[in-house]
Homo-oligomer: A and B are copies of this chain.
Amino acid sequence: MTPLTNDRFLRALQREPVDMTPVWMMRQAGRYLPEYRETRARAKDFLTLCQTPELACEVTLQPLARFKLDAAILFSDILTIPEAMGLGLYFSEGEGPCFERPVRTKAQIDNLSVPDPNDALRYVMDAVSLIRRELDGKVPLIGFSGSPWTLATYMVEGGTTKNFRRVKGLMFEQPQAMHTLLDTLAQAVIAYLNAQIAAGAQAVMIFDTWGGILTTRDYLAFSLHYMQQIVEGLTRKHEGQRVPVILFTKDGNEWLEDLAATGCDAVGLDWKRPIGKARERVGDKVALQGNMDPCVLHASPERIREEVATILASFGNGNGHVFNLGHGIHPEVDPEHVSAFVDAVHALSPPYHVSPL
């Protein structure tokens, strides 16, 4: 494989010195880009876009052609694992992802098996290999998966939900069945991410979108525990390089120390709390990724630069910061504002990386 021209992102994740703070955006390959909407229109539907490696590669690379981003992230869906388990994923207009065959009983849970990532999820591995080839060492490629708890919420609810009563009902009434489900999912995620790493992913991120709706006790037992299992089960070195792992629990600020103690390399932050306070709490245990409010991208370029400056100052001097939004970029954002954002991170961050004499 071609050596990396720009390894700022991987270095920052390992808290090594960099010349400037690396930056990427969650959902950077997405609807705010006209070229994405054009590719999306060519695909039969969203699932086809995810399942066709050439198209997934095309949209993955689109934001890199426009902006000086320091990482690419695989374009895929968060629910590929349950789809490969046979739940029948489909997308209904206005309702988001749904499953034809949700999993709600102990018998249904016992019937699930861990999908072979090189069989049912082959299309993801093909996309990863293709993207790596096309990137040609420009920037590193991030692979990802949903967390077991997050996958379980969709699998039990059968789609998106406002109050999570089915999945929490199962958790409260049949905790052992829920643990069986989460254990199967943890094994599936380990196999899936290790296959992505083997195919060329240079860092991996676990999205725990719904861990933040749990009580502390339930979060530790039903979400974090399984993310820890995954961290322990991952291939951490490939092609002679460390493969860093990023954990991100939305609304999980309260559990920062617990996340940092899993052995992951970095923790993703939402925008709600200052990154400087988070840094005080984790010390040099992990790198931090975040944390600009995605709404700031609707403001003027001047206001965006101001906010970037505030966040850089909040993190302060030294290593271990990957700049990102605290959540995915909104579809309505003007791409010109994204340029202003990415350029501001690179322009304003070098003073924070000058090594002391």
The segment from A58-66, A161-169, A240-248 found at the interface with B is A161-169
Is the CB of A272 closer than 8 A to any CB of chain B?
A: yes
Whether a CB of chain B sits under 8 angstroms from the CB of A46 is no
Is A330 in the interface zone, CB < 8 Å from B?
yes
Within 8 A of B (CB), among A267-313: 271-274, 277, 293-296, 298-300, 303, 307
**Interface residue? A173 (CB, 8 A):** yes
Contacts A272-B254, A303-B172; A165 near B330 (Cβ below 8 A)? yes
**Cβ of A214: which chain B residues have Cβ within 8 Å of it?**
272
**Do the beta carbons of A172 and B298 come within 8 Å of each other?**
yes
Of A165, A217, A272, chain B has the most CB atoms within 10 Å of the CB of A272
- CB pair A216–B163 under 8 Å, yes or no, is no
Q: Which of B163, B168, B254, B298 contacts A165 (CB 8 A)?
A: B298
| Residues of chain B with a CB closer than 8 A to A254's CB | 253-254, 272-273
When distances are taken between beta carbons in the complex, the residues of chain B under 8 Å from A299 are: 169, 172-173
Contacts A169-B299, A298-B172, A299-B169; A215 near B330 (Cβ below 8 A): no
Nearest residue in B to A295 (C-beta to C-beta)? B168
CB distance from A298 to the nearest CB of B (A): 5
Q: Nearest chain B CB to A300's CB is how many angstroms away?
A: 6
| Contact residues, A321-343 vs B (CB, 8 A) | 330, 332
Q: How many Å lie between the Cα of A168 and that of B299 in the bound state?
A: 9
Between A and B, 6 residue pairs with Cβ closer than 8 Å are A165-B295, A165-B298, A168-B296, A168-B298, A172-B303, A214-B272
Chain A interface residues (CB < 8 Å from chain B): 163-165, 168-169, 172-173, 212-217, 251, 253-254, 271-274, 277, 293-296, 298-300, 303, 307, 330, 332
Q: Are B164 and A295 in contact (CB under 8 A)?
A: yes
Which 9 A-B pairs give the minimum distances between C-beta atoms? Answer: A168-B295, A172-B299, A169-B298, A165-B298, A172-B303, A165-B295, A163-B330, A173-B299, A216-B274
| A254–B163 alpha-carbon span in the complex (Å) | 22
The CA of A164 and the CA of B327, in the complex, are separated in Å by 13
* Interchain CA distance A296-B293 in the complex, whole Å: 32
Q: Are B251 and A216 in touch, CB under 8 angstroms?
A: no
**A173 neighbours in B (Cβ, 8 Å):** 299-300, 303
Q: Determine the distance from Cα of A254 to Cα of B283 in the docked complex, in whole angstroms.
A: 19
Task: Output the nearest chain B residue to A271 by Cβ-Cβ distance.
Answer: B215
Residues of the B chain whose Cβ atoms lie less than 8 Å from the Cβ of A172:
295-296, 298-299, 303, 307
A153 to chain B, nearest CB (A): 12
Across the interface, A332 reaches (CB within 8 A) one of B165, B273, B295, namely B165
CA distance A168 to B330 in the complex (A): 13
Closest to A304 in B: B172
Output the least CB separation between A305 and chain B (Å): 12
B contact residues around A251 at 8 Å (CB): 251, 272
For residue A255, give the distance in angstroms from its CB to the closest CB of chain B.
10
**A163 nearest CB neighbor, chain B only:** B330
Bound Cα distance A253, B169 (Å) = 24
